[in-house]
Amino acid sequence: MKLKAFITLLCALVLSSVAHAQTVIKIGAPLALTGGLADEGKKQKIAYDMWLKRINDAGGIQVGDKKMKVELISYDYQSDEKRAQQMAERLITQDKVDFMTAPFGSGHTKVVAGVAERYGVPVMASVASSESVFNQGYKFLFGTLAPNGGLIDAMIETFGKQMPQVKKIAILGREDVFPRSMAATMQAAAEKAGLTVVHSEFYPVGALDHSASLSKIKASGADWIYITGYTKDLILARKQMADLKVTAPVVTMITGPAYQEFIDALGPLANGVSSTTWWHHSTQYKSDDVFGSTKGFYDAYVALEKSDPDYVHASAAAALIALQKAIEKAGTTDKAKVRDALANLDIVTFYGPIKFGANGMNAGRDLPIIQVQNGKVVVLFPESVKQANAIVMP
């Protein structure tokens, strides 16, 4: 009797496991929850969890004639590129995920995308905008951010109109995939637009002192100081600029002012700093996703976190919405068919339009140019959501 009972129990467990596999969609998410990119990784997780709760509360994703709940399996890769690669491998080979999301940043996205490509697993990148990530010939990588080039062109045009006295630009960029791309793209675009590049330099990852570079920029007489990096880099650079009395009519930090923690850390020193972003809550889109509109997402986030969301939150949630819509369109969780559905997706979400180009990047559109004024972020462009004109750096 004991053996018979054991066999019965074993069969029940096997059947339960099979049923679980048939009714649950697994999404793998390597996240930087500790280390240098922890602030950014935690933002992705907040957005993923917001989407996950809403989709599961609605019964799951409609797949053909049934609804399937979603399970998000995540690991902290500790902001380490090699570990990100290992976690991606584990999620695919051990956890048997159906789909994946990419980590924060273009460099780490590129590593994870390479793993996913080998296994034919669609991967959604929510915080990667460097064309160098999407020019590898990957067929299973899709990103919700628009290309870097559109950000630069809009910024040069905006400041050209609102601050025509700006003629000379100094560029300082972090030696990393996204920041380097933004710095190099700005140099090329600035020269094309007729600006004089009076200084151009890259600093290493982990640099704790920018004073030598900033002193050179001060001596260059630049009208526009343009610095790229991640939040901690930019906070340090701005503080050192104040110490050395380095200033210019226009000071841009990509993408510092897009993050509330940048403003909180700098206080009055943040005023006048401009940037660009892929999304701002002042834009208004209606949609049929789980949030219903830009306002719906904004209100849900504020109720949860008691602060404003930024583009990382919005793009991360939008990436999962795009994946959801592709699964629904395909009517299956078959990876190749979902990949094809993503390639042909053309939707409007609370985040804005999502239509992937041949390289997997979201199509370009008018992206917000922002500036900190009186401790708050205001939109300078596009005209449809403009809140203020650019002000000269205090």
Residues 121 and 16 in one domain: yes
On whether residue 188 sits in a domain, the answer given is: yes
Residue 170 sits in the same domain as residue 268: yes
Task: Say yes or no: 255 and 375 in one domain.
Answer: yes
Is residue 179 situated within a structural domain?
A: yes
Q: Which helix (H) or strand (E) holds 381?
A: strand 376-381
Does residue 62 carry a pLDDT above 60?
yes
CB atoms within 10 A of CB 27: 22
Judge if 262 and 380 occupy the same domain.
Answer: yes
- CATH code of 346's domain: 3.40.50.2300
pLDDT band of 225, cuts 50, 70, 90? very high
Residue 394, in any domain of the structure: no
Q: What is the enclosing helix (H) or strand (E) of 373? A: strand 369-373
Does 361 reside within a domain?
Answer: no
391, part of any domain:
no
- Is 112 found in the same domain as 41? yes
d(CA 304, CA 126): 21
Residue 132, pLDDT score: 87
125-139 per-residue burial string, b: 16 or more CB within 10 A, e: under 16: bbbbbbeebbeeebe
Q: What is the DSSP letter of 64?
A: T
Q: State how far the Cα of 193 lies from the Cα of 140, in Å rounded to an integer.
A: 36
Residue 169 pLDDT > 70 = yes
Tell me the torsion sign for CA atoms 317, 322, 325, 327. Answer: negative
Distance between CA atoms of 342 and 142, rounded to whole angstroms?
8
CA torsion, ordered 321, 290, 261, 203, to nearest 10 deg: 10
Contact 83, 32 (CB under 8 A): no
Q: Are residues 72 and 171 in the same domain?
A: no
- How many separate domains does the chain show? 2
Amino acid letter for position 270: A
CA distance 47 to 318: 9
Are 247 and 124 contained in the same domain?
no
Full domain range(s) for residue 54: 2-146+282-355
Query: Is 70:290 a contact under the CB 8 Å cutoff?
Result: no
Q: Are residues 46 and 99 in the same domain?
A: yes
- pLDDT per residue as tens digits for the range 254-268: 989 999 999 999 999
Does any domain span residue 250?
Answer: yes
Q: How many CB atoms lie within 10 A of CB 7?
A: 10
Task: Write phi, then psi, for 278 (nearest 5 degrees).
Answer: -95, -10
Cα 349 to Cα 159: distance, rounded to the nearest angstrom = 29
pLDDT tens, position by position, 80-124: 999 999 999 999 999 999 999 999 988 899 999 999 999 999 999
Are residues 271 and 338 both part of a single domain? no
Residues 271 and 312 occupy one common structural domain:
no
Rounded to whole angstroms, the Cα distance separating 381 from 64 reads 42
Same-domain check for residues 138 and 161 = no
Six-digit token pair at 129?
A: 């905008």
Residue 337 has pLDDT above 90, yes or no: yes
Is 362 in a helix, a strand, or coil? Answer: strand
Name the band, by pLDDT with cuts 50, 70 and 90, for residue 312. very high
Q: Are strands 168-174 and 224-228 parallel, antiparallel or unpaired?
A: parallel
Residue 324 lies in a domain: yes
In a domain, residue 54? The reply is yes
Q: Are 49 and 301 in contact (CB under 8 A)?
A: no
pLDDT band of 12, cuts 50, 70, 90: very low
| Model pTM score | 0.83
Residues 6+ apart with CB under 8 A from 4: none
Residues 102 and 218 in one domain: no
- What pLDDT does residue 54 have? 98
Q: Tell me how far apart the alpha carbons of residues 189 and 200 are, in angstroms, rounded to a whole number.
A: 13
Instruction: With CA atoms as reference, report the closest residue to 242 among 274, 204, 264, 269.
Output: 269
Which pLDDT score, from 0 to 100, does residue 150 have? Answer: 74
Considering the chain, what is the average pLDDT of its residues?
92
